[in-house]
């Protein structure tokens, strides 16, 4: 009974991390589209910002969206690793959980939930014997 309960928590944590990663990728796409669109508006582009304004805005768009993409991919990979009960997935999600504690409120809640359950001895035992692929 306890093993089934831990399996359900592992599956739920994996799904939540995949969704969290997809949200990060989606946020990166939104930032990229919005800022690149703003950089093409002639009234904003050349009036107060001067000639370099659109270029700076494009660089910011690319940097911020790339950062969000880079953050989102490990979250998805870690979630998939948890879904398959891989030890590397558990370790990756533990690292991501500690890092996401500063991301209030969603990252903090998911980080605490992940840390609490992934550190339990029953969960560690579950990941020592992974599911068959």
Q: What is the mean pLDDT of residues 73-88?
A: 95
Task: Report pLDDT for 132.
Answer: 56
Task: Report pLDDT for 84.
Answer: 92
**DSSP structure class, residue 51:** T
Residue 82's CB is within 10 A of a number of other CB atoms, namely 26
Residue 84's CB is within 10 A of a number of other CB atoms, namely 13
* Cα dihedral sign, 57-63-67-72: positive
Q: With both helix axes pointing from N to C terminus, report the angle between 53-83 and 87-100 in degrees, rounded to the nearest 10.
A: 140
Does the pLDDT value for residue 45 go beyond 50?
no
CB of 117 closer than 8 Å to CB of 9: yes
Task: Report pLDDT for 10.
Answer: 93
In the block, tokens 């014997």 appear at 129
Listed range (8-22, 38-52, 64-78) with the worst mean pLDDT:
38-52
């Amino acid at each position: 009974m306890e093993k089934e309960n831990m399996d359900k928590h592992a599956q739920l944590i994996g799904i939540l991390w995949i969704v969290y990663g997809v949200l990060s990728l989606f946020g990166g796409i939104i930032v990229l589209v919005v800022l690149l669109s703003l950089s093409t508006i002639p009234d904003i582009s050349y009036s107060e910002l001067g000639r370099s304004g659109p270029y700076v805005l494009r660089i910011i768009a690319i940097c911020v969206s790339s950062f969000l993409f880079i953050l989102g991919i490990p979250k998805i990979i870690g979630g998939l690793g948890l879904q398959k009960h891989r030890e590397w997935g558990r370790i990756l999600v533990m690292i991501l959980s500690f890092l996401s504690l500063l991301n209030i409120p969603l990252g903090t809640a998911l980080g605490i939930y992940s840390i609490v359950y992934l550190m339990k001895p029953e969960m560690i035992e579950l990941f020592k014997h992974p599911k068959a692929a």
